[in-house]
Amino acid sequence: MPAANPNPDPAPPPRRDYAPAARRLVSTVLVFGLLATAAYWAWHQPFMVRARTLWELSRMPPPTELPVPVDGVAAERIADTFGAPRGADREHHGVDIFAPRGTAVTSATRGVVASIRETGLGGRQVWVVGPGNERHYYAHLDDWAPGLAEGDVVVPGGALGEIGDTGNARGTPPHLHYGIYGAGGPVDPLPRLQAYEGDEVEPAGDD
Ligand SMILES: [Zn+2]
């Protein structure tokens, strides 16, 4: 009668079953793949143009030259009034571009229309977020361009409105107040307008 083996073979270690882990890994990869595909698809849909444009603009440097945002006005005709006192406690944070009432006001940059409103000193105004996240302020408009809406993507030369005298410009010669606000506060637009060497901006359209 064989003696009981005092030292039986240890039970083999339980075989690890890797199948569930593998299945989890595969389904995780699939889910992330589908999400990435859906995100890529959505990012390139027309309804994402605004978000995509804002992203691209935020990665661009602020422009060093800009076209005059009023039809038919040369930069040499714009007075240097940035920083000039306005009353006892204000400074002029932009330039005034004079032109006949109704002259087209156009965007100096590519951008996204952030705000269209009528309020305070600026009267009828449009705010456009441009390259480098600078905010471009177009004020005293007689009227806004037909159909212009917040969230619209605009190109240089794109119509924003018409020269007027709304807000605190009421009763003065019609002009555009044009201001630029960067991360550090107001920026003088005039050196950029004077530096512009590009072609006269034509409204987008057929050739
Ligand atoms: Zn002004």
Express each pLDDT in 141-150 by its tens digit. Answer: 999 999 999 9
Which pLDDT band holds residue 87 (cuts at 50, 70, 90)? Answer: confident
Cα gap 103→201, rounded to integer Å: 15
Question: 3-state class of 132 per DSSP?
Answer: helix
The rounded Å distance from CA 112 to ligand 1 centre is 22
Of 64 and 47, more confident: 64
Q: How far is CA 115 from CA 34, 60, 130, in A?
A: 36, 21, 13
Express each pLDDT in 20-47 by its tens digit. Answer: 999 999 999 999 999 999 999 998 888 8
The radius of gyration of the chain's CA atoms, rounded to the nearest angstrom, is: 30
The rounded Å distance from CA 119 to ligand 1 centre is 15
Express each pLDDT in 3-13 by its tens digit. Answer: 556 666 777 77
The rounded Å distance from CA 139 to ligand 1 centre is 8
Q: What is the pLDDT of residue 154?
A: 97
User: Model pTM?
Assistant: 0.81
Average pLDDT, the chain: 92
CB 162 within 8 A of CB 126: no
Q: Which of 148, 150, 154 is nearest to 57 (CA)?
A: 154
Cα gap 174→180, rounded to integer Å: 20
The rounded Å distance from CA 96 to ligand 1 centre is 5
Question: 3-state class of 46 per DSSP?
Answer: helix
Please name the residue that has the structure tokens 């901006």.
201
